[in-house]
A and B are shown apart, each in its own frame.
Chain A
Amino acid sequence: MKLALVGVGDAGTRIVDRFVSREQATGRSITTGNILVFNTDDRVFEDTRTIPEERRVLLGDTHSAVKRRPDSADVSASAEGKGGDADRVHTGTHADTIDSYGVGGDPDVGATVAEADLPEIRRALDQIDETEVAATMLVAGLGGGTGSGVGSVLLEELNAIYETPVYVLGALPSTTEPDRRALTAARGIRTLVPLADATFLVDNEAWRHGTDSVAARHNNINEAIVTRLLALFGAGERDPEAISEMRVDSADLSRTLEVGGVATIGYATHELDRDDNDLFARLLQLLGLSNDTDDGGVDAATIKRLIRQALESKLTLPCAVTSADRVLLILSGPPDTISRKGFETGRYLLEEETTTVEVLAGDEPVSGATEITATVVLSNVTDIPRIDEIQRQAVSMHSLSTTDDHDTAGGSDSDLGDDEREDEVDPDRVLTDDTAGGEDDGDVDENDGSEVDNTNKHNAADSSVEAFDGETDHSFDFEAERDE
């Protein structure tokens, strides 16, 4: 499917950059230059490799609520002397994990800034040729003020001007991140999902585990996202294109997604080791130990297993697969390897496991490929424990802020935890006040931060996150910070 990509915030920018780079490396043509990134802080722009300068749009640079990053010389100077933290605003519970630059993590500021810059946004969007693409995808970290805030306004705008579907790829914060990011993500979900034609979500929490360093881990997550998006949107977009019997066409994908809601992606690969295997397989056959009678192909059981693996693999957003409304399967590999029986029984397995009859399936023959991949899209999944969790986290955050604003009786004194938390100020308010009241954020936030650190229930995890701090939407910047 020809797709325009619009990245917003640091996470969005980095994913779009990586997508285009991989698209070029694998000889596919999906975006064909229809890319654009928006941000309220231009630091991450410097890291991009495939996004031309005229496609990078810095918003809010004249807006009073947006904090400009000092010259890069100053930044590197202060970063060298361990005093990098002085450049950060400490807001809310896990203060020093939210960067002060740009909109400082506040989605309402993000939205305000984007509204104010609509003429500039529209001018930038003119660079995308909608007639060349079948859909547009907005890519954003939903825990970020720019991702969710600017993203919401951008999505409204894209909806208004494009006839073709507009999808969202949103990354959800992990549990180690500040509550305020959960609040932003919960509100982001609430805003973006109804506006988008479909929303792919990726859960950092599900992908967080592992023994690698944070940097490597996030690098892997980013890579995993792009691999899945390419398998999905890149099906049939190779040149020269092989002839396929059951070709997946872009209408299959758009029909799968047209029900709206939240979508998640599963993915599995089967390495073809044909030369080595052949001898062994032939030996087994000779000895009567194998019932695999295919010549050189992969037997039906292997294909079916691969499809099952894709469904049972770590989904970009874990969910109850039975809650899916529609399903799409793409089987990609050398045309002479894909067993028809395996393909059909695998497709039927999807219907049985997801309990939906709307299962579309197709193949993408790739001559000379060394592996077979199965990619499964589950569309409009509604049973997602992680979203409930984020909402609960967000509500507790939200109600605490509300209590702080309105509760004069101090009704929760008996509860120590609440007591501590009551000292928190509505982080949105803090941030807005900070930025509105001038650029001198350090003082206020250091006070807040020192107190709130006591309530930090994720000390170990947080310390690892801090090591990786220094980028605005850090959790969605899956790539390592270069300076580290």
Chain B
Amino acid sequence: MKLATIGVGNAGSKLIDQMIEFEVETGRNLCRHALIINTARTDLAKPENIPEDRRVLMGDTHRKARGHGVGGDAEIGAEVAKTDIDEIRRVFDDVEIHEVDAVLVAAGLGGGTGSGAAPVVIDEIQKMYDEPVYGLGVLPGKYEGGRPALNAARSLQSFVNKVDNFIAFDNDAWRSRGQTIEQGYEEMNEELATRIVTLLAAGEVDESEVGENAMDSSDIMRTLDTGGVSSIGYASTELAPAKQGLLSKFNDEDQSEDESTDAAKIKGLVRRAVNSRLTVPCEVSSADRALIVFAGPPEAISRKGVESAREWLESAADTVDVLAGDDPRPGSSTLAAVVLLSNVTETPRIDEIQNQAVDAQNKIREQDAVREEEIQSLITDDDNDLDPIV
């Protein structure tokens, strides 16, 4: 697939940056255009793989932002994006949209800029183009608290209503102890970038390598066509160096043993991809459609294995709509399976965020309702005997 990518806010920008880093490292070619948008000048300077002229600072003239972020306030994030939408559109004008298959908008949903501004940007892009727009959203962890949960629950609604598919990433599923803040976010970004790029870049390596079993962009897009929220699973295995020598070729017995080992390995890989950490934990059987991409050296991808893995996923996901295909990567020493579960409807983490958000909203409203009264009562003595000075 060929993508135009837009990162909104700090998390979104760093994700796009990481995706580009990963595709360059692995010789893929997915992100044909990259644009990052932020309200904080210093955060905009952080990504390393985005050209200077593809970084847009918005809201630098806004009274509350002034180039220093929006303080986690999604309303201001949205307001600022609406005000500066012309500027964003101008930068996007350079994108030759006919060169890409889809647009991917990445954002963290807990903060103010990503959650507020990204839906505004998506609206604008859909006005300009017919290509599908996918969302890639990072959900805040429980410990990020009530306000981020409220931002995320609200932004999730906007995202899911507007995009053709929303790929969710749950921060909580990816926490691990012993990390510093720096390491923590870097590791998560790497994990997510690996999954997204491996999935979406399938079929874009080298035209000459495309075999009959190769995954095609249109298959991926068809799977994403369901709308709703999607989750991605991933597993990889290091391959032993390929056997050399004539002998093995003529040893039928050996080959069939290899074949069955490979097949079992492939199926095991897919089971592991689905059962290990999904980008957002979900009930697999609630998926509408599913798709598997095998990325690795063609000789390691056993047809038998692919078929049995596909069948297994069909029953696990309880859907007949399961596609499987290859992303041949000759010479690669790893074999990876990435599984897309499209339109999963049972995602406990999203329910939790929504509950946390409702509580947060109630609390905020209660505070708003009594705020002025409480301040007045604080600064005034009981009988209101004291006069202000001016």
Contacts and interface: CB of A to CB of B under 8 A. Distances in A.
Interface in A307-362: 323, 325, 335-341, 343-345, 347-348, 351, 355-360
Interface in B181-197: 181-185
A395 B381 contact: yes
A252 B19 CA distance: 28
Interface string B150-188: 100000000000000000000000010111111111000
Interface string B337-373: 0000000000000000000000110011001000100
Contact of A382 (B73, B141, B185, B377): B377
Interface stretch (A3-11, A53-61, A84-92, A182-190): A182-190
A252 B71 contact: yes
B17 to A, nearest CB: 12
B141 A344 contact: yes
Contacts of B184: 245, 340
Contacts of A355: 363
Contacts of A297: 178, 180
Contacts of A365: 182
Interface residues of A, number: 77
A194 B375 contact: yes
Contacts of B63: 163
Contact of B359 (A108, A254, A357): A357
Contacts of B364: 357-358
Contacts, number: 189
B3 interface: no
Contacts of A255: 64, 70-73
A384 B378 contact: yes
Contacts of A193: 375, 378-379
Nearest to A365: B182
B40 A111 contact: no
Interface stretch (B232-240, B310-318, B382-390): B382-390
B109 to A, nearest CB: 15
24 contacts: A111-B389, A149-B389, A152-B388, A190-B389, A236-B42, A246-B185, A247-B40, A247-B43, A250-B69, A251-B64, A251-B66, A252-B72, A253-B71, A255-B70, A261-B374, A294-B180, A338-B181, A338-B182, A339-B181, A340-B179, A340-B185, A356-B363, A360-B147, A395-B383
Interface of A: 1, 107-108, 110-111, 134, 148-149, 152-153, 156, 163, 183, 186-191, 193-194, 236, 241, 243, 245-247, 249-256, 258-262, 293-294, 297, 300, 323, 325, 335-341, 343-345, 347-348, 351, 355-360, 363, 365, 380, 382, 384, 387, 391-392, 394-395, 398-399
Given A111-B389, A251-B69, A351-B145, 7 more contacts: A108-B389, A187-B388, A193-B378, A339-B178, A382-B378, A392-B381, A399-B385
Interface of B: 10, 39-40, 42-43, 46, 63-66, 68-73, 141-147, 149-150, 175, 177-185, 359-360, 363-364, 367, 371, 374-375, 377-383, 385-390
